[in-house]
Amino acid sequence: MTLLETATGRLNVERLDKRGAETVVLVHGIATDNLTSYYFTVAPEFAAAGYDVVMYDQRGHGRSERPRSGYRLEQFTDDLAALLDRLEVTGPVHLVGNSFGGTVALDFALHHPGRTASVLVVESEPPTAAWARKMSGLLAGSAHKLRDEATLPWIERTYGRHEARLVRWACRLLHDTTLAEDIAASRIPAEERWRSLDVPVLAVYGADSDLAPMAPWLAGLLPRCRTLEVTGHGHSVLVGTPETVGPLLLDWVRGAHREPVS
């Protein structure tokens, strides 16, 4: 792993087989997530298939720089653009985003369509005013719960040390930064812009997830969007069943994104 200085800040980056002809960028979720959720799931599969795989810790996460403020969605999107500039990746990239990472990927595609070959989102939604309110409320609520001294010991007993360690990182992020407030103030594109997005999108949801019902709406909003559901899984479908999600994502990058949407 390497710490890179970019135009927008210091980011921790892991790159697998940069000789690949096409680049796949993996964007993780918010608070308790970091690039390892890909490193131990689908990243090796993409690399073995001959792709240039880029993973990075988003600002405030993992080993990347954690500024006190600066967490609006567009700043995460700017980080992605700056990272590609720093890595001198000039061709269009395939973006894979999990949860909040998918929102970043969609926002990047909307504002940088020429730099985007396709978007693959897992348990994600595009940024809307309702999304910003919901996310801000969830983050603020989590910060409040984590102030309870009994919470972390309970998480460790129930879910194990690894999960407790991730929650401790999230606790510092939520308490030491303006993340929740900044997400609420994020730039929200007009609906008409989404309806004109000329980039192929694959959206994967766990059938038991609260986000699964939005699949038909998203398919109707984005002109080149397909949606898939994975039965028996909820929001953590990427980590819960990488053996199912991995081949779906790889098939999309290999060429399914070029097929007309029925």
What is the model's pTM? Answer: 0.93
Compute the distance between CA of residue 148 and CA of residue 206 in angstroms, rounded to an integer: 30
| Domains detected in the chain | 2-126+189-258 (3.40.50.1820)
Q: What is the mean pLDDT of residues 211-221?
A: 96
One-letter amino acid identity for 41?
T
Average pLDDT over residues 17-24: 84
Question: CA 53 from chain center: how many Å?
Answer: 15
Read off the pLDDT band of 206 (50, 70, 90).
very high
Indicate the pLDDT class of residue 32, thresholds 50, 70 and 90.
confident
* One-letter amino acid for residue 48 of the chain: A
Q: Across-strand partners of 98?
A: 122
pLDDT given at position 152: 58
d(CA 211, CA 112): 26
Q: What are the phi and psi torsion angles at 200 (to 5°)?
A: -70, 135
Surface-to-core class of residue 51, CB atoms within 10 Å of its CB (0-12 exposed, 13-18 middle, 19+ buried): buried
User: Which of residues 175 and 8 earns the better pLDDT score?
Assistant: 8
User: If you average pLDDT over every residue of the chain, what do you get?
Assistant: 92
Cβ(215)–Cβ(229) under 8 Å?
yes
Q: Are 88 and 196 in contact (CB under 8 A)?
A: no
| Mean pLDDT in residue range 211-227 | 97
- Give the gyration radius of the chain's Cα atoms: 17
Q: Is the pLDDT of residue 148 over 60?
A: no
pLDDT recorded at residue 147: 63
Do 197 and 116 form a contact (C-beta atoms < 8 A)? no
Cβ pair 196, 224 in contact under 8 A: no
Statement: residue 132 has pLDDT above 90: yes
Task: Give CA separation, 55 vs 10, 67, 99, 131, in Å.
Answer: 14, 20, 15, 25
pLDDT of amino acid 150: 58
Contact 241, 213 (CB under 8 A): no
Distance of CA 85 to the CA centre of its chain: 19
